[in-house]
Structure 1
Amino acid sequence: MKHFDYIILGAGASGLLLAYRIASDAFFDDTSILIIDKSSNKGNDRTWCFWEEGQGEWDDILEKSWSSVFFGSQTFSKTIDISPYRYKMIRSAAFYNKLWKKINQKSNIQFLEASIKDFQEKENVYVTTSKGDFTATKLFNSIPDLSYLKQKKYPVLQQHFVGWFVKTKTEIFDDTLATFMDFSVPQNGNTRFMYMLPIDKQTALFEYTLFSKDILQLSEYEAAIKDYLKEKSVSDFEILETEQGSIPMTSFKFSELNTSRVLNIGTAGGWTKASTGYTFRATSKHTKKITALLKQEKDVSKSLSKPKFWFYDLIFLDVLANYNASGAKLFSSLFKKTDVKTIFKFLDEESSLLEDLKIILSVPPKHFITSFFKRLF
């Protein structure tokens, strides 16, 4: 069996970005890397959004960015200037193309178009594919182990959504303002909101999103988008593209699945922010940290988690799981009482204890106190 220093399972965002980091650092030029996936060309299969101060690493491939966002609900609505942050949007095709351009320049990185059947850790890591078997000194796996869905210790919600890219015949959108969360849509016992990102004055992404345990029928998402478009007087339009997805929201300790030779990355590694479903910023930061630790020959298996924020997310998810209809009230209170820059720092896991306290004091206390003491004892 052919041996590689590193094998990366999956050529999605986390796998490709890790390969890109390695390809961008001459330190790894003598290292052999194999990327395995069923396809190298995933196209526009994802839309990623994130907030960032000033110029960023991905500004050359942004689809759009906004300096103001709208938060809406039945009890509180506000247009918020988020400067010096900008809310940024990337389409996956541009992102993948940028990464592959760098990766393909490196002769020490190979791609295998194959299905992954299994991997086992022995003295090395053994990988079985539809096109042969391989071994690696270290394996980076982005394919989720779904066993976490069966456990009962940590709640598992889904951030599930359907989005329509629509184009109107006239200029009706304010493309300087992104709708971050609009909870004015019927909640129906869940946490439901509309997400609207105008790319120009005639084109916008409307995405109906839920934080809940159960996936809906496609027709239910589509009906909600149609109702929202009608409410916003968007009547004469065509649907350019659609997207659909479900992102796990859980505080399950994915790091416990790691070993000194196998590191789970991306959603499989718990890089998705458990309380919000955001993944892109964490993926960008974690892949930088991994390459730095590899250069220092340090164990990366337990080094990416932040226990304080893990516990915050756990309590938050306990509340959302047990009181799923309270999401609109919770987020409304948070945005009403807390500066958005503090919220962004908190969600990026970069906030101080004082800033954490501001967040904690901004949300309705009853359910959080109950969940806190249940977890504590």
Structure 2
Amino acid sequence: MTDSAPLDVDLALLGGGGAASLLLAALDRHGVRDLRIAVVDPVRRRGQDRTWAFWGHPDVDLDPLLSASWQQVEVATETRRRVLDLTPLRYAMLRSGPVYDRAAEAERRLDVTRIVAPADTLTDDGTRVVVRVGDGQTVRAGWVLDSRPRPPARAGRTTWLQHFRGWWLEADRPTFDAARAVLMDFRTPQPPRGVSFGYVLPVSDRYALVEYTEFSPVLLSDAGYDAALAGYRNLLGLDPARLRVREVENGVIPMTDAPFPPRPSPRVVRLGTAGGATRPSTGFTFSAMYRQADQVARALAAGRAPVPAAAYPRRHRWMDAVALRALDRGGVGGPEFFDRLFDRNPAERVLRFLDGVTTPAEEVAIMNSTRLLPMIAATAGDAAHRVRDRLRPSRPAPAIPAAVARATPEDTVRDRSG
């Protein structure tokens, strides 16, 4: 292809991380063979450069790719350690290598054209989209599916970040309980404004991902992450002399009630975080990203427009905005908030709620398990803020922190996703 000869395709995928890889696999799985497809991405994805963790029912599609899964998880606070049976769900770990391998095989079967360059500009006339590529090429597509990191349409009422560092630790003797993952361990020192916790995802009794995570408005320094992670390792009673750090993972995920428009123009559809797949109150993304890929592939296989359903119901986005506000304003403490959820509801209900698939009746039970007065105050404050937003021009979204721009859930080393 030359500058004077645009590439005409039916479908152009912009970005090549998790969202695009899952979509390619879904197109192959659903037998989409009659479309001309191009992937425009400056990075060749390969190897174990990230890890996703999520929960769900055992699945014939994903289970062969998993590194580990657990029927039991632990949630710990300063006063107690609770073991949760997730039946009929399971918590699972998926590393990127098998996902990329499957996507690469799908590319070959689908006869995809890959352009290793960034997409610069999009022009959508309602019939086709013209994509100007960084190396001077032009792609004309019937539809564009865009999973590149994007700022929200306007500033949110609350904006936090989920940021983390993890060590893949190899022990010289049996050390970890391979049958149980630590989902949230709130015994870590809590930041002045925010929530912190550690967790442990064991692949075997000698190998595990041990990670420190914060939900807060600001990032730590490198030294700060290392100190927090070393402190959590010591809290677990792990002897550093008997451990070897095999890999290090870092990531930053936006947690905000700001809107991410999933369809900015008639023939451009956004996926992943850019398309609203990140759950604002937790940063969970994977399951919604997987659903989006499956819905798009099913639509294309049936000859329909490749537009997925909203990642989460509108009522869930409202509840997330209220919860974020309550946490941000100090109305509720993070450890107490999550402890009450798991204490007063079946674990399976809480996990399905965080995944966005509960019924209204179940959500009433979830809300009733939180502290009433702080949540009423947060609800009132959120409603007042929404009224103010309608009465004044939209505020521009703040610039994406460099770390977020480099590591969003579809392009991060690890996405702790639901």
- Superposition TM-score tier, normalisation by shorter sequence: over 0.9
Counterparts of residues 1-377 of structure 1 (less than 5 Å): 1-26=6-31, 28-107=32-111, 109-122=112-125, 123-131=127-135, 132-148=137-153, 151-189=154-192, 190-235=194-239, 236-255=242-261, 258-294=264-300, 295-298=302-305, 300=307, 303-323=310-330, 326-377=333-384
Q: By how many angstroms is 1:116 displaced?
A: 2.3
Q: By how many angstroms is 1:296 displaced?
A: 4.6
Q: By how many angstroms is 1:143 displaced?
A: 1.0
Task: Give the aligned length.
Answer: 373
Q: By how many angstroms is 1:58 displaced?
A: 0.7
Contact preservation (8 Å) 1:167, 1:240: yes
Encode CA deviations 1:239-275: one digit per residue, 9 max, x unaligned: 0001100011122221365332011110111101111
Q: By how many angstroms is 1:325 displaced?
A: 7.5
Aligned sequence identity (%): 28
Could you say which structure has the greater relative contact order, defined with CA pairs below 8 angstroms and 6 or more residues apart? 2
Specify whether residues 327 and 264 from structure 1 end up closer, same or farther in structure 2 by C-alpha distance, changes over 3 A only.
same
SS at match of 2:16: coil
**Cα distance in 2, alignment partners of residues 195 and 159 from structure 1:** 14
Q: Please, what TM-score do these two structures have when normalized by structure 1?
A: 0.93
Encode CA deviations 1:186-228: one digit per residue, 9 max, x unaligned: 0021200001111111111111001111111011111111112
**Cα distance in 1, alignment partners of residues 214 and 177 from structure 2:** 25
Q: Which moved more, 1:367-376 or 1:270-279?
A: 367-376
Structure 1: which 4+ aligned runs deviate by more than 4 Å?
301-305
**Cα distance in 2, alignment partners of residues 154 and 270 from structure 1:** 16
**Cα distance in 1, alignment partners of residues 155 and 279 from structure 2:** 19
**Cα distance in 1, alignment partners of residues 104 and 231 from structure 2:** 40
Q: Which moved more, 1:132-141 or 1:73-82?
A: 73-82
Q: By how many angstroms is 1:85 displaced?
A: 1.4
**Cα distance in 2, alignment partners of residues 207 and 232 from structure 1:** 11
**Cα distance in 2, alignment partners of residues 52 and 303 from structure 1:** 19
Q: By how many angstroms is 1:303 displaced?
A: 4.8
Encode CA deviations 1:261-304: one digit per residue, 9 max, x unaligned: 01111011110111111111111111111223343524727755
Q: By how many angstroms is 1:34 displaced?
A: 0.3
SS at match of 1:375: helix
Contact preservation (8 Å) 1:259, 1:301: no
Contact preservation (8 Å) 1:163, 1:244: yes
**Cα distance in 1, alignment partners of residues 259 and 100 from structure 2:** 29
Contact preservation (8 Å) 2:17, 2:45: no
Structure 2 portions without partners, runs of 5+: 1-5, 385-418
Specify whether residues 303 and 349 from structure 1 end up closer, same or farther in structure 2 by C-alpha distance, changes over 3 A only.
closer
Q: Give the aligned residue type for 1:24.
A: R
Q: Which moved more, 1:345-354 or 1:319-328?
A: 319-328
Q: Which moved more, 1:277-286 or 1:256-265?
A: 256-265
SS at match of 2:170: strand
SS at match of 2:78: coil
SS at match of 1:205: strand
Q: By how many angstroms is 1:147 displaced?
A: 4.9
Contact preservation (8 Å) 1:271, 1:282: yes
Q: By how many angstroms is 1:305 displaced?
A: 4.6
Encode CA deviations 1:34-60: one digit per residue, 9 max, x unaligned: 001112224222111111223442110
**Cα distance in 1, alignment partners of residues 28 and 262 from structure 2:** 28
SS at match of 2:204: coil
Q: Give the aligned residue type for 2:182.
A: T
**Cα distance in 1, alignment partners of residues 90 and 174 from structure 2:** 23
Structure 1 portions without partners, runs of 5+: none
Q: Which moved more, 1:348-357 or 1:58-67?
A: 348-357
**Cα distance in 2, alignment partners of residues 324 and 36 from structure 1:** 45
**Cα distance in 2, alignment partners of residues 195 and 301 from structure 1:** 32
Encode CA deviations 1:140-184: one digit per residue, 9 max, x unaligned: 111122255xx4443221110001001111111111110000000
SS at match of 1:233: coil
